[in-house]
Structures are given as C-alpha cells and as structure tokens.
Structure 1
C-alpha cells in the first residue's frame, strides 16, 4: 500500500509544479489555490508512505519521480525542449530510483 500512497503523492507533487508555474508568483488566485491544495494532498500521502519507507529513501523517490514526470510533461504539453543532456539526466534519475528500489526500500 505504501507504493500506492507514494504514487498518489507523486501525482499531486507534479500538479504542484504545474499549477505553481501557472500561478505567476501567486498572483492568480485559482492557480494559487490549486498549488496549495495539491501540495497539502501530496504531503499527506507522502507522510502515509513514510510510515513504511525510510524517510530518506521515500523522499528521494518522491522528489525524483516527480521531477522526471514534470520534465516529461513539460516536453509533451508545454513545449519545453528535452535536450540530450536533459534526457541523460532523467535516465540517471530513473537509474537511481531503480537502485533505491533494489536496495529493498519498502
């Protein structure tokens, strides 16, 4: 169940990043509200996952997978360029997450 909680936390953390970009420095109320609500939900589900995961491992996986998701969505939907160096960085992050998983994290 902890992996499900972590997955939900990742989805909402991605929503935080996207909505924070749209909030334009918290000057747009609707996007600001979405940012804060998504952040609260992401943090709640992360805290549930951390009942099973080591804090360092759970947090590292959460931030890493969220970051990869944001980069991919940025390239697919927001016209952000996915250069070879970004692609290589994403591959390294994915490799690190796999390594943490293989280390016996939850």
Structure 2
C-alpha cells in the first residue's frame, strides 16, 4: 500500500513497486488483472485496473502495451501521459476514470 501511495514516485514507478511487492503473495506471481485491482483499492486516487478489455482498447486506439515484465508499471506510465497531455478536456480526470473508459471501449 505504501508503494502505490508514495507521491514522491511517478505513477508508473509507484505501480511497478507495488506490483513487485504484491507478486510475493500466492496467486499474484503472473497476470496483472487481480493485482491491479488490489493496488487500485489501496490507492484509488492514483492507480487503475488493468484487464483484457483495457488491453483491447489500447490496441484499438493504436497504443502499445506489451506483455513483457513490468507491464503494470508501463500501463500506469501510459495513463499518466494521457492525463498530462489531455489538456482542458481532461481536467479533473483520474487514472481510474481513464481505465473505466478503456474498459468500455474494449468490451466485446
């Protein structure tokens, strides 16, 4: 919880640190969906959920997020970039708002 709440780290660095800590728990070694939900519950103002629908939406939008190790940290870095470069239309949006939008874009 401390790692993802640490505002001295970028959102991506905090996500990567949180993911590293949670990977020590049974059931969290591989895959980012469940881990991202737990980390988002720990820091809902900073983190966001990742799942297959989000992956589909990113691909639909032409954004690349590979399955390589560290994916959740890269995902959060990508969301941070979207928040930073959204301009006035994104004022007040959070990473969680973007993940919710991606969820709906990526549904089948």
Q: Rg larger in 1 or in 2?
A: 1
TM-score strictly above 0.5: no
Normalised by the size of structure 1, how large is the TM-score? Answer: 0.30
Question: Whose helix fraction is larger, Structure 1's or Structure 2's?
Answer: 1
